[in-house]
Structures are given as C-alpha cells and as structure tokens.
C-alpha cells in the first residue's frame, strides 16, 4: 500500500490538490492518503510551522504531495524557511527537479517557438550552497553594519546530485550542462567543476558542456532548445528554473519534485505556482501543474507508465483549450482523470 502525505496548504493549494488526487486515484489505485494541515492557516492559528512530531510522521510516507504554501498575512520567509526548505533539508531531498516543456497552447513570451521545441530538465542541488543559512550580521542598523552569507558545498553533496543528473541525461537525449560561475566563485566553482569532470568520466555516453550562470540565463531565453539536462547549485537553480518557467509560459503550468533519489526519505511533489489568494475559493485555478506533479511522483515511485499517461492527458488537455478561454478547476480535473482512466484501462 503506497502511503502519500497530502499537504493541501493555502489558497488555491486546496483546490488544485483535490484535482491532483482525482488523477492519482486512477494512476495509483488504492493509495492511502493522509492529510496534513500545514501552512499559513495553521501558523496563524497557533504559531506552528512544522512540529517535530509532524515531520516524523511525514517521514513515514512514500511521498508527499503539496499544494501551495503562503499567505500575505504571514511575514515573508517564515513558511519558506520553516516549512518548505526545512522539508528539503530534513528529508535530505538533494535533487530539486524541474522539467520544462513548452506545452501546446501555453502562452510563451517567445516568438518562433512551438510545442516540443523546449524540453529540458533542471537538476538543482537542494541541500547545500547559499541555502544553509550560514552567515550573520554585525553592528546591525548602524553605519558599520556588515552582513555575510556563506555558500557551503561538499564533494559528497555535489557528487551525488551530479551523478543523478548524469543518470537522467542518459535516460533522455544524453546531454548534460553544468552551470556555475567558475571564473569568479573559484572555491565552490572549482569543487563543482572538478567533481563534474570526475563523474563525467563514468558516463562516456553523455556529452557534457559547461556554462557560466550569466550565459546560461541568456541562453535559456534565446536558445532554450539547446538544453537537455542542466545541473547546478541551489541558488543558480532557483533562478534558472524561474527563467525556464517564463519561457515555457509561466509558473502556472510547471511542476517540481524535491527528491531523495535513494528513497531513504519521502520526496515532495508540488506545482511551482503559489497559493494565489486573489483567486482562491472561486474554482477557477488551473490544476494542471498540481496534476503534473503527480506524474513526477509516479515516476519517482517506479510507475513510469502511469506517469506517462498523466503527462499525455495533461498535454491533450492543454492542447484542447481555446486561447484565453476560462477554465473551471474541477472540470479540468475530471477531463484529465477521464483521459488517464481511458489510457490505463
């Protein structure tokens, strides 16, 4: 029995997760869902963000499905660090995976691209770099204030994520791009580049390339079709994946996984979009990103066929839409679920 922890979260999170679960019920029949009330509502109610006991319970599951976290009533950073990043660090989710595809009908700001032209994944490191919180402030609020922010990187941490990226490249078109800033960040960049070159020797079937982060950011805009798999550090990955979302038509359609590839802890799957309080409760949020995140979840749990069925159904749903037409959240879920049911029956 596959055990999934479901964190609907805030705003439209609840609505889109309901549709994702409709689809998951068909793609992963009989899975056991346990709902966890985490996010802005709980924080505003009793100040709790991610109690240790809840973290332990989550850790007992096969995967976590998350809707969206956040609300304007909560100070910025509190839930991001206390919940989202804490899950990544505590559950050792060292692969932050962001597939980027240009879907039919997606509102890309780019000229001269068509569905299929853009199809790459970013493998972002999830447990190191500038995300550890290391650093400090001295003489706060005085003219003498100094603030430091420290990027911590280990051979252990870089090697495992780079290896994962090579494995994914091997299963795709066989091309891997390392992105860093080795000409300026010589300490961390040196470690990343040497580790990359070492691991590359084990994957002679994968072609490799190195790009500085500034160049990569530009190439994602003016030649995104040249990428297959990108591997990069935590902060560069944060930025590059949002550019990727932009060129493929916005974060509204993107899904992501915070993955522990070794299955020692559950991985988290979620839509990239936020809780969108402005449209919450109206039944008009697009659930395709949440549904796509179930495909990543299925793939991670070894159900490649079911994952492919969900992806195909999402692609058909998007391809069938009239440009600019409004959608109803539950109708989208019903259509995609019916399509998946048809494929898997």
Q: From the CB of 110, what's the least distance to ligand IPM, in Å?
A: 21
Active site residue 278: no
Interaction of residue 217 with a copy of itself, rule CB under 8 A: yes
Matching residue, tokens 């749903």: 317
Find the shortest distance in angstroms from Cβ 41 to a copy of itself: 19
Distances (CA, A) of 131 to 7, 18, 234: 23, 31, 7
8 Å CB contact between 59 and 226: no
Q: Nearest CA to 305 among 290, 295, 314, 315?
A: 295
Interface mask toward a copy of itself for 154-173; x: CB under 8 A: xxx-----------------
The strand pairing partners of 32, in sequence order, are 3
- Residue 164 a catalytic site member: no
Two structure tokens written together for 104: 């039919």
Show Cβ contacts of residue 150 under 8 Å, excluding neighbours closer than 6 positions: 130, 132, 134, 135
Number of residues engaging ligand IPM in binding (CB under 6 A): 7
The least distance separating a copy of itself from the CB of residue 245, rounded to whole angstroms, comes to 6
Binding mask 66-85 for ligand IPM (x = CB under 6 A): --------------x---xx
Q: How far apart are CA 192 and CA 319, in angstroms?
A: 40
Tell me, yes or no, if 214 is annotated catalytic.
Answer: yes
**22: annotated active-site residue:** no
Q: Specify the pairing of strand 175-180 against strand 95-101.
A: unpaired
Determine which residue in the list 3, 171, 194, 225 makes contact with a copy of itself, applying CB under 8 A.
194
The C-alpha atoms of residue 322 and residue 278 are separated, in whole angstroms, by: 24
Of 32, 116, 218, 262, which one interacts with a copy of itself (CB under 8 A)? 218
Binds 186: which of ligand IPM, a copy of itself, none (CB < 5-8 Å by kind): a copy of itself
Binding of residue 221 to a copy of itself (CB under 8 A): yes
Residue 214: C-alpha distances to residues 220, 222, 343 (Å) = 10, 13, 43
Q: Is 184 in the site for ligand IPM (CB under 6 A)?
A: yes
Task: Please state the closest distance from residue 216 (CB atom) to a copy of itself, in A.
Answer: 9
What kind and span of H or E run contains 259? Answer: strand 255-259
Q: Is 119 a catalytic residue?
A: no
Task: Write out the catalytic residue numbers.
Answer: 131, 181, 214, 238, 242
Q: Which residues bind ligand IPM (CB under 6 A)?
A: 80, 84-85, 183-184, 214, 238
């Amino acid at each position: 029995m596959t055990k999934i922890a479901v964190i609907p979260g805030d705003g439209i999170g609840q609505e889109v997760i309901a549709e994702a679960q409709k689809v998951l019920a068909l793609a992963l029949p009989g899975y056991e869902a346990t709902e966890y009330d985490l996010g802005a509502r709980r924080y505003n109610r009793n100040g709790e963000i991610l109690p240790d006991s809840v973290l332990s319970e989550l850790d007992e599951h096969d995967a976590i499905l998350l809707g969206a976290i956040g609300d304007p009533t909560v100070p910025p950073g509190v839930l991001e660090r206390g919940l989202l990043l804490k899950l990544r660090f505590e559950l050792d989710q060292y692969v932050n995976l962001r597939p980027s595809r240009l879907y039919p009908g997606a509102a890309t700001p780019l000229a001269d691209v068509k569905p299929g032209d853009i199809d790459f994944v970013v493998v972002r490191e999830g447990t190191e770099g500038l995300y550890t919180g290391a650093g400090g402030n001295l003489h706060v609020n005085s003219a003498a204030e100094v603030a430091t922010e420290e990027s911590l990187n280990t051979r252990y941490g870089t090697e495992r994520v780079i290896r994962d990226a090579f494995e994914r490249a091997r299963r795709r078109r066989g091309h891997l791009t390392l992105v860093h800033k080795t000409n300026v960040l010589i300490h961390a960049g040196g470690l990343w580049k040497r580790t990359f070159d070492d691991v590359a020797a084990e994957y002679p079937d994968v072609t490799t390339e190195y790009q500085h982060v500034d160049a990569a950011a530009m190439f994602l805009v003016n030649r995104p079709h040249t990428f297959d798999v990108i591997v990069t550090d935590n902060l560069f990955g944060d930025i590059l994946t949002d550019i990727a979302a932009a060129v493929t038509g916005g974060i509204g359609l993107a899904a992501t996984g915070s993955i522990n590839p070794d299955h020692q802890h559950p991985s988290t799957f979620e839509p990239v979009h936020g809780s969108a309080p402005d449209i919450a409760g109206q039944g008009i949020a697009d659930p395709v990103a949440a549904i796509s995140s179930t495909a990543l979840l299925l793939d991670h749990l070894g159900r490649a066929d079911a994952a492919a069925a969900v992806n195909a159904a999402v692609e058909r749903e998007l391809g069938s839409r009239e440009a600019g037409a409004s959608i109803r959240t539950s109708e989208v879920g019903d259509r995609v679920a019916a399509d998946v049911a048809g494929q898997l029956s």
